[in-house]
């Protein structure tokens, strides 16, 4: 377990030294989802940083894609990072894209995996039976190709979140915000090297979403991982790390 550092208004993990890879977690995604990625890249010439996004701690008025992108900018400024490689899963990818739209000079490259930003119908839905543990368990398992990845700790965390009224209100606010901030019109002008790594069996953001990202982004490469759902870096960490590392080397990062 990596130590959480708290400085100013920010809590984050920072491991290794070298070129900064800044990771953005998703709506229900904890920092631990990126352990394998952190361990690998922090010993291969990169500094891996994972800020804790204030998804449930910021005011409701800032609980949206724009607010989190601004928080990310403030964090990058606070830490004085330059030429950041932004890696985002799910909502994290969306935040990374929105941030890059306004602060392109700070970002060297983007990595998207199961990113929202084009297709949001799965976000914030299906909480009508949120008090039924088995329903929530099934919903969490469906995020992965292999349901065993959805450990009891992960299911318990999601169950607690959706049954906390304040957190649920914010979850739904974020879902609405994600729809509002659709990136389809912005992507063609985001001329930035982008690595798109996608699970072939992703049911949250299906494969055609990855193809759409690849088509709309002017400088992107698309890679598939088979027998893999919405969180490729958790289900197939070794393959994910290998694909990403090779891409970074080929692009000179």
221 occurs within a structural domain? yes
Q: Is the dihedral of CA 80, 82, 87, 93 positive or negative?
A: positive
Q: Is the pLDDT of residue 248 over 60?
A: yes
159 occurs within a structural domain? no
Q: Is the pLDDT of residue 35 over 70?
A: yes
pLDDT bracket for residue 5 (50, 70, 90): very high
Provide the domain count of the chain: 1
Domain holding 228: CATH number?
Answer: 3.40.50.1820
Q: Please give the model's pTM, rounded to 2 decimal places.
A: 0.94
Pairwise CA distance, residues 238 & 176, whole Å:
34
Q: State the residue range of the domain holding 101.
A: 5-122+182-250
65 occurs within a structural domain? yes
Helix (H) or strand (E) holding 152: helix 152-162
The radius of gyration of the chain from alpha carbons, rounded to an integer in Å, stands at: 17
Beta strands across the sheet bearing 107-113: 5-7, 10-15, 46-51, 19-24, 84-89, 107-113, 194-199, 220-225
143 occurs within a structural domain? no
78 occurs within a structural domain? yes
148 occurs within a structural domain? no
150 occurs within a structural domain? no
Q: Is the pLDDT of residue 93 over 70?
A: yes
């Amino acid at each position: 377990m990596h130590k959480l550092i708290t400085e100013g208004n920010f809590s984050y993990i920072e491991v290794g030294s070298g070129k900064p890879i800044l990771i953005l977690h998703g709506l229900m995604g904890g920092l631990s989802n990126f352990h394998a990625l952190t361990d690998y890249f922090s010993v291969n010439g990169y500094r891996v940083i994972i800020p804790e996004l204030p998804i449930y701690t910021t005011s409701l008025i800032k609980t949206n894609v724009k607010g989190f992108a601004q928080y990310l900018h403030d964090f990058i400024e606070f830490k004085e990072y330059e030429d950041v490689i932004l890696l985002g899963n799910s909502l994290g990818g969306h935040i990374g894209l929105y941030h890059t739209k306004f602060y392109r000079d700070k970002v060297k490259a983007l990595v998207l995996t199961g990113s929202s930003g084009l297709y949001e119908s799965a976000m914030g839905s299906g909480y009508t039976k949120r008090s039924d543990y088995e329903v929530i368990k099934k919903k969490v398992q469906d995020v992965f190709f292999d349901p065993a990845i959805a450990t009891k700790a992960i299911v318990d965390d999601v169950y607690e979140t959706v049954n906390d009224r304040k957190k649920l209100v914010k979850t739904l606010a974020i879902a609405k915000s994600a729809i509002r901030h659709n990136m389809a019109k912005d992507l063609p002008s985001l001329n930035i090297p982008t690595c798109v790594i996608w699970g072939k069996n992703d049911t949250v953001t299906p494969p055609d979403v990855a193809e759409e990202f690849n088509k709309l982004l002017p400088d992107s490469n698309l890679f598939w991982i088979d027998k893999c759902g919405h969180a490729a870096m958790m289900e197939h960490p070794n393959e994910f790390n290998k694909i990403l590392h090779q891409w970074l080397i080929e692009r000179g990062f």
